[in-house]
Amino acid sequence: MKYTTKTTTGFLLHDCGIASKTLDKTRILIVSYFPVPAVTLPLLLGDPVILISRKRFKLNKDNEIMDKKSLALLLYQYCHAHQVLEWGSFNYIWRHFFHRVFFRNTPIKHSHVERECYACVNKMMGSEINFDT
């Protein structure tokens, strides 16, 4: 599944700061049994893939987002996908590894890789986006 700027969810993601290039190149796979809510896979020979747990992700029959929490989860993962596309897969993995090994005393939210993703989600959660449910 992919979201483009022509879809409602893609428009909301683009409005929150996700580039059109990132929307076009990132694929989403919804997984039935997954131990974490979501993860972005930086494929070394391809574009990033977002894996999302079905029970944490609420979609309507048109595969559009139904609530703000689902949008926040998707926005966070798209932010990582943007980093993968900008830095390259190897550099993205290296930065995760480097900050988790050499800056263990620093909270994860303050690491170089996570900081902009959390800021993007906090900005979106503070906005007045409403969903018709």
Q: Which of 92, 88, 127, 126 is closest to 111 using CA atoms?
A: 92
Would residue 131 count as lying in a domain?
no
Would residue 68 count as lying in a domain?
yes
Would residue 3 count as lying in a domain?
no
- Do residues 13 and 3 make contact, with C-beta atoms less than 8 angstroms apart? yes
Would residue 133 count as lying in a domain?
no
- Considering its fold, how many domains does the chain have in total? 1
Other CB atoms within 10 A of residue 82 CB: 23
Question: Does residue 133 register a pLDDT over 50?
Answer: no
Would residue 76 count as lying in a domain?
yes
> The whole model's pTM is what?
0.88
Q: Which domain holds residue 36?
A: 8-126
Q: Give the tokens for residue 31.
A: 């997984």
Supply the CATH number for residue 40's domain.
3.30.2010
- Do residues 5 and 11 make contact, with C-beta atoms less than 8 angstroms apart? yes
Please report, rounded to a whole number, the percentage of residues in the chain having pLDDT higher than 90.
24
pLDDT in tens, 101-121: 877 777 777 777 888 888 888
Question: Does residue 27 register a pLDDT over 50?
Answer: yes
Would residue 32 count as lying in a domain?
yes
Would residue 22 count as lying in a domain?
yes
What residues have CB less than 8 Å from 34, skipping those under 6 apart?
A: 51, 52, 53, 54
Would residue 1 count as lying in a domain?
no
